[in-house]
Amino acid sequence: MTVGVWLPLSPVAGVLGMQALPMSYFPWLIGTLAAYCPLTQGVKSWVHPAVR
pLDDT at 36: 94
pLDDT at 52: 60
pLDDT at 51: 63
Close Cβ partners of 7 (under 8 Å, ≥ 6 residues apart): 13, 16, 18
Give the model confidence (pLDDT) of 1-52 as tens digits.
788 888 988 999 999 999 888 999 889 989 999 999 999 999 988 888 876 6
Interatomic CA distance for residues 1 and 18, integer angstroms = 16
pTM of the model: 0.57
